[in-house]
Amino acid sequence: MALAITVNDADFSDNSIGWEAPTSVQPATALFALNSASGLKNLAAGGLQPTAVAGTPTFTAGVSGKSLPFVTLGSNAELESYQLFTPQSTILVLANMGVGNSDIVQFINPANSVATLAMQQRGDVMNNWLTCNKGSEQLTVNAQGLVTGTWQIHALQCDITTKAPSMNYKNYTTGASAAGIGSFANIYTPVDTFKLGGAGDTAANSTYEGAIYLFWNSILGTDDMTTAVAWLRQYAQAYGISA
């Protein structure tokens, strides 16, 4: 049985598009792994549906009160999200990381892009990486001590609207966090979209399980972040999962 995704008694868990987050600003992209879709489905109004870039994502159905529905991504598969990297971005992901070098969100080739942003696992480090001007200007924010094998809520906020770009990463499950401010020569405007999955190598264990991906084209404030995280925890709990 699939969990109903409801707002104001309206059910968006199956075929309806137009789910609304409990935040003052709505996400531009809201990807949920759903039993009814046998994969990830974008429930944001007007949002495009993800498509495979490489490999074939593996979908595992969820059971209410017992286990989350999820897609397995990483070295085995990569998806195009069609979500543009905007000058201000907030990303929330409910994921269960493996032990390898998988990418949660990333770009195909930073060396050919104006601006790229990646949230990726490198062993026990959550590596958050901003590159601009074809990779010549970079800001890296690493959170050490990544815990694998459990469902966790990962958040990344990035602001590149000034020559002092900022990144803030927080794991709302373990409490791990990292932040940084760069110093770039110019202000850059991204033109590329996020990819989901992929990996830093081709190892079979460089995979992870993804249940929800939420993208906002703005920097959410503290109250909205608290509300969104609480909703994700409630959603996971309905499947018997603590996050």
Q: What is the pTM of this model?
A: 0.93
Which top CATH class is 29-234?
Answer: mainly beta
Quick check: 23 and 223 in contact, CB under 8 A? no
Quick check: 13 and 1 in contact, CB under 8 A? no
The tokens of 18 are what? 């137009």
pLDDT band at residue 5 using 50, 70 and 90 as cut-offs: low
What integer is the mean pLDDT of 156-179? Answer: 98
What percentage of the chain reaches a pLDDT higher than 90?
A: 86
Q: Is the pLDDT of residue 4 over 80?
A: no
Q: Which helix (H) or strand (E) holds 71?
A: strand 70-74
Q: Is the pLDDT of residue 133 over 60?
A: yes
Q: What are the sequence ranges of the domains in the chain? A: 29-234
C-alpha distances (whole Å) from 243 to each of 21, 35, 137, 178, 228 are: 18, 20, 35, 19, 13
Q: Is the pLDDT of residue 2 over 50?
A: no
* Per-residue pLDDT reduced to its tens digit, 65-98: 999 999 999 999 999 999 999 999 999 999 999 9
C-alpha distances (whole Å) from 235 to each of 30, 90, 148, 174 are: 14, 19, 20, 18
What integer is the mean pLDDT of 136-152? Answer: 96
Counted residue by residue, the chain has a size of 243
Q: Is the pLDDT of residue 107 over 50?
A: yes
Q: Is the pLDDT of residue 11 over 50?
A: no
Q: What is the pLDDT of residue 112?
A: 83
Q: Is the pLDDT of residue 13 over 70?
A: no
Q: Is the pLDDT of residue 58 over 70?
A: yes
* Per-residue pLDDT reduced to its tens digit, 32-55: 999 988 999 999 988 899 999 999
Q: What is the pLDDT of residue 3?
A: 44
- Choose between 26 and 19: higher pLDDT: 26
* Mean predicted lDDT score pLDDT of the chain: 92
What integer is the mean pLDDT of 59-64? Answer: 96
